Amino acid sequence: MYDEMVISDTDPLLESEFIIELVRHLRALDSYGAYEKWSDARILDPLIMTRERKKEMPLIADPDDVTLSNIRAYYNALALTIERECGHLCSPLISLSHEGFGRVLITVGKLVVMDRVLRDAHLFGFRSLEALKTESDKILNQAQAMVSRYPAVAAI
């Protein structure tokens, strides 16, 4: 997709729990086995939207199927990680228009632990692998705090 990769195969962040889960979800999208010989870094690389990559993208565009799949994989991986941490069933709800505007909710029981508005989904990505990890950890920590604060609602 891009000329050169921006993630190193030796990046220690590739060993973090959430990144491993995200790679699992991205690999699950590969029904034809194209990713079979790809490294984890190569699979994650399209999620990294550097300034140079953003400059190559049009300001207004509809997200393609690969981008939509990456968005779903990212939020599904978040939901599964939250579920694993809190021990309650967790459900992601992703609603996107064909123009790339929408909302993502992640619920634990009847408790909404994450609510994000998505704009310009064709530009979905993170400045770096570190930014992806930092943003994901922030969401995971906030979700865990919500479940701890309202355990009865999360258990419904």
Domain assignment present for residue 2? The answer is: no
Domain assignment present for residue 3? The answer is: no
pLDDT the model gives residue 110? 94
Domain assignment present for residue 1? The answer is: no
CB 142 within 8 Å of CB 113: yes
Residues 20, 7: Cα–Cα separation, whole Å: 14
| pLDDT band at residue 90 using 50, 70 and 90 as cut-offs | very high
Q: What average pLDDT score do residues 44-61 get?
A: 84
pLDDT the model gives residue 1? 54
| Average pLDDT across the chain, whole number | 90
pLDDT digits (tens, 9 = 90+) for 97-129: 888 899 999 999 999 999 999 998 888 889 999
Number of domains in the chain: 1
Domain assignment present for residue 42? The answer is: yes
Domain assignment present for residue 77? The answer is: yes
Q: What average pLDDT score do residues 127-145 get?
A: 95
Burial label, 106 (beta-carbon count in 10 A; 0-12, 13-18, 19+):
buried
Indicate the pTM of the whole model.
0.89
Domain assignment present for residue 149? The answer is: yes
What percent of the chain shows pLDDT beyond 70?
98
Question: Which helix (DSSP H) or strand (DSSP E) does residue 60 occupy?
Answer: none
Beta bridge partner(s), residue 29: none
How large is the greatest C-alpha to C-alpha distance in the chain, in angstroms? 50
Domain with 30 in it: what CATH number?
Answer: 1.10.3100.20
Domain assignment present for residue 143? The answer is: yes
Find the domain containing 40 and state its range. Answer: 12-154
Domain assignment present for residue 106? The answer is: yes
